Structure 1
Amino acid sequence: MIDHVYISVTDIDKSLAFYSEALKPLGWSLFGNYDAASGPDSVPDLYGIADDAYLSGKAVGSSVWLRQRKPGETGLYIGIVCDTNELVDAAYAAAIKAGGTDEGKPADRTYFARGYYAANVADFDGNRIEFVHKAWNPKRHP
């Protein structure tokens, strides 16, 4: 499970639209912004997207924070836990529909391990997302 990740992007609005649609099938949604003026100089403006566990406060959840990319920064790769193969498929389809680029259609990835099912996409800035269901993981949501 991921707690939080910063993703540096070139277009905040376009990227917020992409991530909110790509992660919607997994119960994620936009939830707020962090204003850099309210904290230390090292923390930039941030734009948050979180899963329903994080938003409810009833369980440990995950969040992603987008930030404006600075010249010379590179992209990111992040793995997002899915509770079923069908959710991998749904998230992949939503990401492609939202404008993502295919980097590996949903499939068993037995070269990693038996029961490892995943799909990969890239966003507009080359950040890579892996939607993954590991058969041995317990379900995160009842």
Structure 2
Amino acid sequence: MLDHIIITVSDLERSGAFYTTALKHLDIKLSMDFKGQDGHPDLKGFGKDNSIFFWLKEGKSDSNGVHIGFVAKDHADVETFHKAALAAGAKSLYAPRVFPEYYPGYFATWIIDPDGYEIELVHKG
């Protein structure tokens, strides 16, 4: 089980605003603005309830090969996420749909964030 993931983004404020908008309807919100010191970078932590599991840090981004999948509670979440992410500046890789090649009921969308990271939201019904 993963505890958290950190991705490096080229503009911390821009990406913080992007993920605040894109993840809002999933109740995943900006939970911590960590101010780095003594060589530790500033971080923005996103989470739900009492858990922070998705972190951003500023630096040279390298999205090559990175795919992050978030869980949706239903198909409406997937569709709402797709619209919110596009409105926040994402590019659509795959519009919301069933992906039967994975298995029946796999309903997902993929977007590309401002730094080129591939972000998926999936409902496994």
> Same fold by TM-score, threshold 0.5 exceeded?
yes
Any stretches of 5+ residues in structure 2 without a counterpart? none
Alignment-derived partner of residue 88 in structure 1: 78
Alignment-derived partner of residue 133 in structure 1: 123
Alignment-derived partner of residue 45 in structure 1: 42
CA distance in 1, matches of 2:112, 2:54: 15
- Aligned residue pairs total 123
8 Å contact kept, 2:90–2:112 = yes
Percent identity of equivalent pairs: 34
Task: Deviation per CA, 1:56-109: give whole Å up to 9, x if none.
Answer: xxxxx4521100123xx5113200000101101111110011110000000001
TM-score normalised over the length of structure 1: 0.79
Secondary structure of the residue aligned to 1:113 is coil
CA distance in 1, matches of 2:82, 2:4: 20
Alignment-derived partner of residue 113 in structure 1: 103
Given candidates 58, 62, 85, the residue that maps to 1:74 is 62
Given candidates 85, 89, 95, the residue that maps to 1:99 is 89
The residue type paired with residue 65 of structure 1 is W
Give the superposed CA RMSD.
Answer: 1.8
Offset of residue 45 of structure 1: 2.2
Alignment-derived partner of residue 15 in structure 1: 15
CA distance in 1, matches of 2:106, 2:91: 21
CA distance in 1, matches of 2:107, 2:82: 12
Indicate the structure with greater strand content.
Answer: 2
The residue type paired with residue 23 of structure 2 is L
